[in-house]
Structure 1
Amino acid sequence: MQIVTQARGFDLTAGLREHVERRLRFALDWAHYQVGGISVLLSDINGPRGGADKRCRIRVKVVGMADVVIDDVQADLTIAVDRAVDRAGRTLARRLARQREHQHASLRTTQPELAASEAPTGVATPALK
């Protein structure tokens, strides 16, 4: 799983980069076959003025589906990262579950049609007792 982390408005430390990557791998490694890549943008919205202005934007590229994009803004950057990663994991799980349900539903509707089309015409089928 390829993770690209960028920072705007401050220097990205090795410790912060490791924290982001460790949290993402823990939260999304179960779906590594479906994830095409992850990009993380960390930014300080207000600069040195302070306040709840640390943003973490995570974009998860999902194979065959729309990207999962999560934004979180907090006063503490590590809290913003943790919340955004948790939300990204839940959102990805929900989308993949919906996709599986849709695939299973389409299989259920096509299987009776296939069974009916495979039965030879004019041949009586024995009744089951």
Structure 2
Amino acid sequence: MQVIFESRDTDAAQMREPSIEKVRFALRRLAALVQRAKVQFSDVNGPRGGVDKRCQVEITTDAVGTVVIASLASDWRTALDRSLGRAARVLKRSLQRRNKPSRNRSLALAVDP
């Protein structure tokens, strides 16, 4: 799994290594299916402060395509944790839906007289 980190903010750049480790840990069970995970940090309001730290996680797989999740928080770690948690849940649910056997109603109707 390739992990890409992007940020223009100098404070977020310090989160590079912890972010890569968290991504690998959060997606460890799905690592065989995930080709690439991209983490982007941005500061929405700039130096004004507030709940403005944005983390976007983009996960690319062959099985279900691309999953993109973004979250806002007051600090970088919280934004990353929220994004990763939600992205892992969405990816897991998408894989379960894809692997769920479909009922073939037309076959059942053809067999019954």
- For the aligned residue pairs, the C-alpha RMSD in angstroms reads 1.9
- Native 8 Å contact 1:38 1:58 kept in 2: yes
Q: What's the secondary structure of 1:51's corresponding residue?
A: coil
Aligned partner letter, 1:37: R
Structure 1 distance, partners of 2:29, 2:9, is 32
Aligned partner letter, 2:53: K
1:68-93 CA deviation, whole Å, 9 max, x = no partner? 10000011111000111111111111
Match of 1:42? 41
Q: Which of these two proteins has the greater Rg computed from alpha carbons?
A: 1
Structure 2 distance, partners of 1:3, 1:86, is 16
Structure 1 gaps, min length 5:
113-129
Structure 2 distance, partners of 1:91, 1:65, is 10
Aligned partner letter, 1:9: D
Match of 1:105? 102
Aligned partner letter, 2:29: W
Return the TM-score normalized by structure 2: 0.84
Query: Aligned runs of 1:1-129 on 2, under 5 Å?
Result: 1-11=1-11, 12-13=13-14, 16-101=15-100, 104-105=101-102, 109=104
Structure 1 distance, partners of 2:22, 2:78, is 12
Structure 1 distance, partners of 2:32, 2:98, is 15
Q: Number of residues paired by the alignment?
A: 106
Return the TM-score normalized by structure 1: 0.74
* Larger RCO: 1 or 2 (CA < 8 Å, sep 6+): 2
Structure 1 distance, partners of 2:25, 2:2, is 14
Q: Whose strand proportion is higher, 1 or 2?
A: 2
4+ residue stretches of structure 1 with deviation over 3 A?
none
